[in-house]
Copies of this chain bind each other. A is one copy, B any other.
Amino acid sequence: MSKSSVKDILSLDPKGQEVELSAWVRTFRSNRFIALSDGSTINTIQAVVDFENHDEALLRKINTGAAITVKGKLIESQGKGQTAEIQVSDVLINGESDPEKYPLQPKKHSMEFLREKAHLRFRTNTFGAIFRVRHALSFAIHNYFNEKGFFNIHSPIITGSDAEGAGEMFRVTTLDLNNVPKTEDGKVDFSEDFFESETNLTVSGQLEAELAALALRKVYTFGPTFRAENSNTSRHLAEFWMIEPEVAFANLTDNMDLVEDFLQYLVDYALKNCKDDLEFLAQREAEEEKSLPQNERRPMGLIERLEFVQSNKFQRITYTEAIDILRNSKPYKKKKFKFPVEWGTDLQSEHERFLVEKHFEKPVIITDYPASFKAFYMRLNDDNKTVAAMDVLFPGVGEITGGSQREERLDVLLRRCKEMGIEEEHVWWYIETRKFGTCEHAGFGLGFERLVMFVTGMTNIRDVIPFPRTPGHCEF
């Protein structure tokens, strides 16, 4: 635990002091210069061996991927772009890496290839950077909420509730599939199952978070959620992580204030704490973009997109205003939009990106969507046709998060349940909070991987989670 990492050693002032470092060989040049890396930072440290003093058989084991321990003096580096290097006196091989067999050679591998090597891809520059940024964002989320007086609530993963209707669910069972017990009328006998009832993997912790917020004032969840949807796209996972804050005595304006402050904090945190990794990812993206035709390239670079979010006040408009703007826009008039723009239909990514990137040139929050395509728990506005919902739109990606003020009025909630086919007895506990001390409250849900994609610039969601679960894929 007290052993030095590459990051520790790079932070030292090189004065010829003795250091010891265990790490992995990234490259070994001229039988002399070992670039050592250990994932603590994207940077490597150079260890210089004097091959005359070392056994040739040992030097032959210094291959990409090998784990070694070096001892020596930390001195100012002779090389360019490096501040310190280790003048090696001793080398120990911890674990070899046969260059004929090691899959990760120092060359460019395709993202598809690396997905099949998800157990090793953490070792590459790109994935090291992604997972360090993912960590930083995860910590920033906890840090933000803790500082603001929110309590982290672990909402249940296995649930009997399927009320949210957010999508297809995975069943959880201990029944023997070879011999499913049946009731007398031939149905599956769930009384024989572990929980003596039908259970699924949660699609959202929001309803449970509301229960907690209506007691602890400000809470948030940060946990895995699941969708059993057969969506083989670059933006869908069957298992992903969600952040769901919920605040009592808060309305839609409070919710917008919170989401704006929160997202700007996260982006700012990443810019400040992940400088090296983001610069690497930005450069990587810029290289990738070069191979694309001009019209497919992103209008802004990675750092530029992050600063766009960090520094611009978010524009707030209603859905109705957004429809007006879109119908009066050039691309609409020139029939450039693929999807229709009509009051009562949901906005598509092309519309959202037009509003952010062309019209307002800042992040946009759209509020007050038609009730027809929003969930039963969103608070009905006085017009009786829109709800106090909000979506936050970012450049490049469109919707990054969505939320709403929740329906706190018992009679309206019961009516909405009925209209949307939600059975009261399934959500009696949710409804009961509206009977005792109900109050205005609001919250939102942020898909963590969508955020990590935005911050790292990765375009496939499978590349921002360690072991992606998608239809047909549950390896590792």
CB of A10 closer than 8 Å to a CB of B: no
Q: How far is the CA of A115 from the CA of B323 in the complex (A)?
A: 48
* A interface list, Cβ under 8 A from B: 1-3, 5, 7-8, 22-25, 38-40, 65-67, 69, 94-98, 101-102, 118-120, 122-123, 127-128, 131-132, 134-135, 138-139, 142-143, 146, 148-149, 151-161, 168, 170-175, 177-178, 180, 187-188, 194-197, 199, 201, 208, 211-212, 214-218, 223-224, 226, 228, 230, 238-239, 241, 247-250, 254-255, 257-258, 261, 408, 429-430, 432-440, 465-467, 469, 471-476
Q: Which B residues are in CB contact (< 8 Å) with A212?
A: 122, 131, 466
Q: Which B residues are in CB contact (< 8 Å) with A131?
A: 151, 153, 212, 216
Known pairs A138-B152, A436-B65; A174 contacts B254 (CB<8 A): no
Is A119 a contact partner of B177 (Cβ separation < 8 A)? no
Q: Which B residues are in CB contact (< 8 Å) with A177?
A: 171, 173, 175, 177, 180, 188
Is A466 a contact partner of B155 (Cβ separation < 8 A)? yes
Is A261 a contact partner of B1 (Cβ separation < 8 A)? yes
Is A239 a contact partner of B158 (Cβ separation < 8 A)? yes
Is A155 a contact partner of B467 (Cβ separation < 8 A)? yes
Is A195 a contact partner of B466 (Cβ separation < 8 A)? no
Q: How far is the CA of A323 from the CA of B47 in the complex (A)?
A: 47
Residue of B5, B146, B247, B249 near A149 (CB, 8 A) is B5
Number of copies of this protein chain within its complex:
2
Is B195 a contact partner of A473 (Cβ separation < 8 A)? yes
Q: Which B residues are in CB contact (< 8 Å) with A430?
A: 119
Is B38 a contact partner of A101 (Cβ separation < 8 A)? no
Q: How far is the CA of A168 from the CA of B467 in the complex (A)?
A: 22
Q: Which B residues are in CB contact (< 8 Å) with A201?
A: 157-158, 172
CB distance from A388 to the nearest CB of B (A): 15
Q: Which B residues are in CB contact (< 8 Å) with A440?
A: 94
Is B161 a contact partner of A101 (Cβ separation < 8 A)? no
Q: Which B residues are in CB contact (< 8 Å) with A155?
A: 466-467
Is A249 a contact partner of B3 (Cβ separation < 8 A)? yes
- The 9 A-B residue pairs with the shortest CB-CB distance, nearest first, are A95-B438, A39-B216, A122-B215, A119-B429, A195-B474, A67-B439, A135-B151, A22-B249, A123-B215
Q: How far is the CA of A439 from the CA of B94 in the complex (A)?
A: 6
Is A474 a contact partner of B216 (Cβ separation < 8 A)? no
Q: Which B residues are in CB contact (< 8 Å) with A148?
A: 1
Q: A39-B217, A172-B172, A211-B476 are in contact. List 10 more A-B contacts (CB 8 A).
A: A5-B217, A95-B436, A122-B215, A131-B151, A153-B466, A156-B469, A158-B469, A171-B174, A194-B472, A199-B474
Is A439 a contact partner of B122 (Cβ separation < 8 A)? no
Nearest B residue (CB) for A39: B216
Give 29 CB contacts A-B under 8 Å: A1-B148, A1-B250, A23-B249, A39-B151, A39-B217, A40-B218, A66-B436, A67-B248, A94-B438, A95-B438, A95-B439, A97-B437, A120-B211, A120-B436, A122-B211, A122-B216, A123-B215, A132-B151, A142-B143, A154-B241, A156-B239, A156-B476, A158-B469, A175-B177, A177-B188, A178-B180, A195-B473, A208-B466, A208-B467
